[in-house]
Amino acid sequence: MAVVEISVAPLGTAQPGVSEFVAGCVEIVARSGLSYQLTPMGTVIEGDLDQIFPVLREMVEHPFGQGAVRVSSLIKIDDRRDEQRHDMAGKIDAVTSKLNADR
């Protein structure tokens, strides 16, 4: 199971706001049926990489259809296969349980 974060931003759009482009990308994830979470800096998706990769490919393409001529994308993959639970909620739980243990 992999947890993947992606952010997509067009360059040279005249306006510094890019949320319209981001929204188009988020809708692609939403339609994919994969579990995802919107963060202030990107979209986090969980699932098998074979399911996620086609979604990533579609997302990095999307802004060109909205008029962008240059698109900068960042994809970070955390793929772990030694335990049953490696998902978005599990990753946060692992950290917050350590925080509580320290106090």
Task: Tell me which residues touch a copy of itself (CB under 8 A).
Answer: 3, 5, 7, 9-20, 22-23, 26-27, 30, 37-42, 44, 46, 49, 53, 56-57, 60-61, 64, 69-82, 87-89, 91-92, 94-99, 102
Query: Which residue's CB is nearer to a copy of itself, number 9 or number 34?
Result: 9
User: Residue 91's closest CA among 28, 31, 37, 32?
Assistant: 37
CB of 32 to a copy of itself, least distance (A): 15
| Least separation in angstroms between CB 34 and a copy of itself | 13
Length of the chain, in residues: 103
Q: CA of 74: how far to CAs of 54, 55, 59, 90, 97, in Å?
A: 15, 14, 11, 23, 29
Whichever of 33 and 70 has its CB closer to a copy of itself, that residue is 70
Residue 36: strand, helix, or coil = strand
Other Cβ atoms less than 10 A from the Cβ of 72: the count is 12
By C-beta, is 30 or 33 nearer to a copy of itself? 30
